[in-house]
Amino acid sequence: MSKRQPSTLSLGTDSVGSLLVRYATPAIIAMASSSLYHIIDSIFVGHGVGGAAIAGMAITMPIMNIASAFGAMVGVGAAARMSIRLGEGNLHAAEKTLGNAILLNLVIGAIITLTMFTFLDEILVLFSGGEAAPETIAYAHDFMTIIMIGNIVQHMYLGLNEQIRASGYPRKSMLIIMTAVGINLILNPLFIFKFGWGIRGSAAATVMSQFIAFLITASHFCSKSSFVRLRRSALHFDKKIVWAIISIGLAPFLVNICASMVAAFVNTALLRFGGSGSMDVVQGSNGNIGDIYVGAYGIANRVVLLLIMVIQGLNQGMQPIVGYNYGAKKYDRVRRALYTTIACGVAIASVGWVLGQTIPSTIAGMFVDGTNSKEEQLMIQAATQALRTIIIMMPLVGYQIVAAGFFQYIGHAKLAIFMSITRQLLFLLPLLWTLPRVLGAFGVWISMPIADCASIILATIFLISEVRKLKSKSLAQSLR
C-alpha cells in the first residue's frame, strides 16, 4: 500500500503550480482529444458526405448531450467524491465509490439506450421542431442509430476515465483518451471513403474506438498496481454513496441537459427565422436556408466546444488538488489552486478568442469544401459570422467555467447547480425566444455573449463570498 500512496499524498505537499501543470496538462490534452471526436466526425462527414449531413449531425447534438449528461453526472460526481475521500485517507470509501459508479453507469446507460431506440423518430422530430428537411432528418437517424448501440460503453469508458484521473493517474487518463481519438482518426476515413458507409461509418468509428478505450480503462482498475482497485465487495448499491455521487454530479448533469434544451431552441430558431434578419449573411425564407444555418451552428458550436473542453480539462486538473486539500482542511492551498486555475483559464480562452476573431472563415472551411456547392459556400459564410459573434465574451467565460467547477469540487452541490443552470435557463433561453424573431440568425448568435456576461457577474458575486469564507477558515486554523 505504501508504494502507491505518494501519488495522492503529493496533492497536499507539492507546489500548487507544479501540481496544476502535472494534472491539468494531461487533462487538457484528454479533454481536447475527446472534443476532437466531434470535430473529426464533422470534418470527414462534411467532405465525404456533404453539408446536409453536418446539419443532420447538428440535429443530433442535443440528443447526444442528454445521453452524455447522465454519464457526466456519475463520472464527475464519483471523481469529486473519490478525491475528497482520498484526502481524508479513506481508501475503502474511495473503492466503494468506484463500485457504485460502475453500477450506476450500467443501469442508466441501459435505460437511455432502450428509450432512444424505442422513440428515436419522435425524438428527432421533436428536437428539430418539425422544420428540418427530410434529407437532414435521414442523416440524423442514420448517425444516432449507430451511436446508441455503443451508448453503455461510452458511459462506462468516460465515467471510469474520470476516476482514473481522480485517483492519481492523470497521464494514464490522457493516454487512454488519446488512444481512442487516434483509433477514431484512422477508422473514420476508412469507413467513410474506403468502405462507403457515409455518416454511419463515422458513427461506427466513434463506437469502436470508445469500446477499445473502455477495455483499457477497465483493465486499469482490475490491476493490482492501481491505487484504487475494483473489488467485488464494492459492487453493490449504497444509498449514501449513490446520493453523494448524484448530488455532486447534478451540476454537470444539468449543464448538459440545459445545453440540450439550448441546442434544440437554437436549431428550431434557425430553421424558422434563419435568413429573415437584416444582419444575416444568408438571406431568404424559402428552400433550405434554415438547414444551412443549422449546419453553420454545428460547425461553430464544435469549435467553441473544443475551446470549452480545453478549459474543462484545466478544471479537471484543479479538481483533485482542490478536492484533496479541501478534505485535508488545507484552505490556503485551495485558494492558491483556484487563483492559479482562473489565470490559466482566462489565458486559454483569450487565445481562442484571438483565433476566432482573426481566421474564422479558415476554421469554418475545414469542415466543408466551399467549392462543391453554393449551399456549402453560404454555410461557411454563416459559420464565420456565428463564430465571431458567439465568442465575444470568451476570455471571461474561461473565468466563469473555473468558478462554477470550483464549487462543484468542494462539494457545494446546490450552488454549483444554480450557477450552472442560470446561464442557460435564466439568461439564454429567454433571449433565444425573443431575439431571433427580430434579428433572425444573428439574434441567435448575439444571445450567447449576452448570457455569458450575465453569468460572469453572478459567478463573481458567489466566488467573492466563498473566498472570504476560506480565508476565515485559514485564519481560524492559524489561531489554534
Summarize pLDDT for 196-231 with one digit per residue, the tens.
999 999 999 999 999 999 999 999 988 888 878 888
Return d(Cα 163, Cα 128) in angstroms, integer: 35
In this predicted structure, what is the pLDDT of residue 286?
Answer: 47
What does the H/E/C string look like for the chain? CHHHCHHHHHHHCCCHHHHHHHHHHHHHHHHHHHHHHHHHHHHHHHHHCCHHHHHHHHHHHHHHHHHHHHHHHHHHHHHHHHHHHHHCCCHHHHHHHHHHHHHHHHHHHHHHHHHHHHHHHHHHHHHCCCCCCHHHHHHHHHHHHHHHHCHHHHHHHHHHHHHHHHCCCHHHHHHHHHHHHHHHHHHHHHHHHHCCCHHHHHHHHHHHHHHHHHHHHHHHHHCCCCCCCCCHHHCCCCHHHHHHHHHHHHHHHHHHHHHHHHHHHHHHHHHHHCCCCCCCCCCCCCCCHHHHHHHHHHHHHHHHHHHHHHHHHHHHHHHHHHHHHHHCCCHHHHHHHHHHHHHHHHHHHHHHHHHHHHCHHHHHHCCCCCCCCHHHHHHHHHHHHHHHHHCCCHHHHHHHHHHHHHHHHCCCHHHHHHHHHHHHHHHHHHHHHHHHHHHCHHHHHHHHHHHHHHHHHHHHHHHHHHHHHHHHHHHHHHCC
In this predicted structure, what is the pLDDT of residue 328?
Answer: 84
Q: What is the pLDDT of residues 38-72, one digit of tens each?
A: 787 888 998 888 888 888 888 898 888 888 888 87
CA angle, 180 as apex, 178 and 181 as ends, to 5°? Answer: 65
Among 369, 453, 326, smallest CA distance to 51 is for 369
Question: Are the CB atoms for 415 and 407 separated by under 8 Å?
Answer: yes
In this predicted structure, what is the pLDDT of residue 285?
Answer: 53
Residue 151: CA atoms inside 13 Å, Cβ hemisphere, count?
Answer: 27
How large a percentage of the chain has pLDDT more than 70?
96
Identify the band that residue 370 occupies on the pLDDT scale cut at 50, 70 and 90.
Answer: low
Q: What is the pLDDT of residues 404-458, one digit of tens each?
A: 889 888 878 778 778 877 888 889 999 999 999 999 999 999 999 999 999 999 9
In this predicted structure, what is the pLDDT of residue 480?
Answer: 66
Q: What is the pLDDT of residues 237-282, one digit of tens each?
A: 999 999 989 988 887 787 778 878 888 889 899 988 988 888 888 8
- Cell 432512444 identifies what position? 116
Identity of residue 218: A
Q: What is the pLDDT of residues 327-347, one digit of tens each?
A: 888 889 999 999 999 999 999
Among 148, 74, 140, smallest CA distance to 113 is for 148
In this predicted structure, what is the pLDDT of residue 9?
Answer: 60
Question: Are the CB atoms for 139 and 53 separated by under 8 Å?
Answer: yes
Q: What is the pLDDT of residues 412-423, one digit of tens each?
A: 877 877 887 788
Where do the structural domains in the chain lie, given as residue ranges? 2-472
How large a percentage of the chain has pLDDT more than 90?
37
Return d(Cα 437, Cα 469) in angstroms, integer: 45
Return d(Cα 339, Cα 37) in angstroms, integer: 31
Burial category of 298 from C-beta neighbours within 10 Å (exposed 0-12, middle 13-18, buried 19 and up): buried
Average pLDDT over the chain, rounded to an integer: 87
Q: What is the pLDDT of residues 104-130, one digit of tens each?
A: 999 999 999 999 989 999 999 888 877
In this predicted structure, what is the pLDDT of residue 144?
Answer: 94
In this predicted structure, what is the pLDDT of residue 5?
Answer: 44
Identify the band that residue 136 occupies on the pLDDT scale cut at 50, 70 and 90.
Answer: confident
Among 252, 196, 223, 261, smallest CA distance to 425 is for 261
Q: Which three cell numbers stand for residue 423?
A: 446561464
Return d(Cα 78, Cα 319) in angstroms, integer: 12
Identity of residue 143: F
Question: Are the CB atoms for 63 and 123 separated by under 8 Å?
Answer: yes
Identify the band that residue 103 occupies on the pLDDT scale cut at 50, 70 and 90.
Answer: very high
Crossing angle, helix 374-390 and helix 331-358, to 10 degrees?
140
In this predicted structure, what is the pLDDT of residue 216?
Answer: 93
In this predicted structure, what is the pLDDT of residue 1?
Answer: 39
Question: Region 351-361: what's the mean pLDDT?
Answer: 95
Q: What is the pLDDT of residues 144-161, one digit of tens each?
A: 999 999 989 988 888 888
Identify the band that residue 186 occupies on the pLDDT scale cut at 50, 70 and 90.
Answer: very high
* Its pTM surpasses 0.95: no
Return d(Cα 11, Cα 307) in angstroms, integer: 27
Return d(Cα 425, Cα 256) in angstroms, integer: 12
| pLDDT tops 60 at residue 7 | no
